[in-house]
């Protein structure tokens, strides 16, 4: 294919992919479980430069990782959103752009791997029409940003295997560090980076320097977050809160441990967790809060109801 033909194909892919994704998020938007809280965090960052769930006297928080609120506040919002609808319109359009950028990275990965432009174009289209990615892009949540950063890290890792290993490993570390500020599972990419550099051409000392650069940059990007938390809250809270309400308040972890002993995924079993997450009362007379599998004896049932009362 000629250079002009390749440019035309790439232009059509970009225009078509972006038009399709913008049409999707324009037709349906939803905040998701934490979307409204992300709006609160991002709005307060944009408004007052505070990482909190609202203006003073709302306290500073550590419950959610800061990457996505920072992204919204300083790269997405043209101004502080006045309502949830406005926030979702900006956030989901940003998701559409991020997913198209991820598709471009997949195209580049395939072309650089020697699979050719046709394979790259098919990879691009696979990302654009991926049902799960399309669905997640309609929510004001972190997945589109996290997926882009993870793919960017893999792109730089594969380049580090072939050329300028230290420079590209450092760029991969930057992407992983940013990803770790968005979702805790970014840490899994450390193993991927180690494997990529292990498979890179010798000499060993160059691969060692490349991995050191990767780790150093990732840590430099991520460390301000736990250090800030330790200074403010006397604990690092590196991953945010394990379990929190929709208002962003940390919740006791015990209920999750307890549910793991009886919940099986049947319809209705998660109802009690929604009640807790919305910080409302547990009713021992409600049929969806007295599932027989919750206890093994009358004595344990009484203990459960005592805990309901304690929560209330």
Q: How far apart are CA 232 and CA 50, in angstroms?
A: 13
Q: How far apart are CA 292 and CA 296, in angstroms?
A: 8
Residue 273 placed within a domain? yes
Closest CA relative to residue 244, chosen from 84, 71, 34: 34
Look at residue 248 in the predicted model and tell me its pLDDT: 79
User: Angle at CA 94, nearest 5°, toward 154 and 91?
Assistant: 125
Residue 277 placed within a domain? yes
Residue 298 placed within a domain? yes
Average pLDDT, the chain: 93
Q: How many domains does the chain have?
A: 1
Residue 286 placed within a domain? yes
Range of the domain at 288: 254-311
Closest CA relative to residue 81, chosen from 36, 144, 49, 22: 36
Residue 245 placed within a domain? no
pLDDT tens digits in sequence order for the chain, 312 residues long: 678 877 888 899 999 999 999 999 999 999 987 888 999 999 999 999 999 999 999 999 999 999 999 999 999 999 999 999 999 999 999 999 999 999 999 999 999 998 989 999 999 999 999 999 999 999 999 999 999 999 999 999 999 999 999 999 999 999 999 999 999 999 999 999 999 998 888 899 999 999 999 999 999 999 999 999 999 999 999 999 888 887 778 888 888 899 999 999 888 888 998 899 889 999 999 988 889 899 999 999 999 999 999 999
Half-sphere exposure (Cβ direction) of 215: Cα atoms closer than 13 Å: 10
Look at residue 274 in the predicted model and tell me its pLDDT: 86
Residue 282 placed within a domain? yes
Residue 143 placed within a domain? no
Residue 288 placed within a domain? yes
Q: How far apart are CA 89 and CA 79, in angstroms?
A: 13
Contact 47, 55 (CB under 8 A): yes
The pLDDT tens digits of the residues spanning 241-298 come to: 888 887 778 888 888 899 999 999 888 888 998 899 889 999 999 988 889 899 999 9
Look at residue 255 in the predicted model and tell me its pLDDT: 87
Look at residue 132 in the predicted model and tell me its pLDDT: 97
């Amino acid at each position: 294919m000629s250079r002009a033909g390749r440019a035309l194909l790439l232009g059509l892919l970009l225009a078509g992919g972006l038009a399709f994704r913008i049409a999707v998020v324009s037709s349906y938007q939803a905040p998701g479980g934490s979307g409204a809280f992300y709006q609160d965090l991002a709005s307060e960052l944009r408004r007052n430069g505070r990482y909190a769930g609202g203006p003073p006297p709302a306290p500073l928080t550590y419950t959610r990782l800061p990457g996505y609120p920072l992204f919204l506040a300083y790269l997405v919002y043209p101004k502080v959103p006045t309502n949830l609808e406005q926030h979702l319109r900006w956030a989901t359009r940003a998701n559409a752009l991020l997913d198209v950028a991820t598709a471009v990275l997949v195209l580049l990965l395939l072309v650089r791997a020697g699979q050719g432009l046709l394979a790259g174009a098919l990879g691009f289209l696979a990302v654009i029409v991926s049902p799960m990615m399309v669905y997640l892009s309609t929510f004001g949540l972190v997945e589109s940003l996290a997926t882009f950063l993870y793919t960017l890290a893999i792109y730089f890792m594969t380049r580090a295997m072939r050329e300028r290993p230290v420079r590209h490993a450092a760029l991969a570390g930057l992407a992983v560090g940013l990803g770790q500020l968005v979702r805790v599972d970014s840490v899994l990419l450390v193993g991927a980076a180690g494997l990529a550099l292990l498979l890179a051409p010798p000499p060993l000392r160059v691969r060692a320097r490349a991995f050191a650069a990767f780790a150093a940059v990732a840590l430099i990007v991520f460390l301000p977050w736990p250090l800030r938390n330790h200074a403010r809250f006397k604990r690092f809270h590196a991953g945010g809160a394990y379990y929190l309400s929709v208002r962003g308040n940390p919740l006791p972890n015990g209920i999750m441990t307890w549910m793991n002993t009886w919940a099986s995924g049947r319809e209705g079993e998660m109802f009690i967790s929604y009640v807790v997450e919305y910080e409302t009362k547990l009713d021992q007379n409600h049929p969806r809060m007295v599932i027989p599998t919750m206890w093994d004896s009358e004595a344990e049932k009484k203990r459960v109801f005592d805990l309901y009362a304690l929560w209330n």
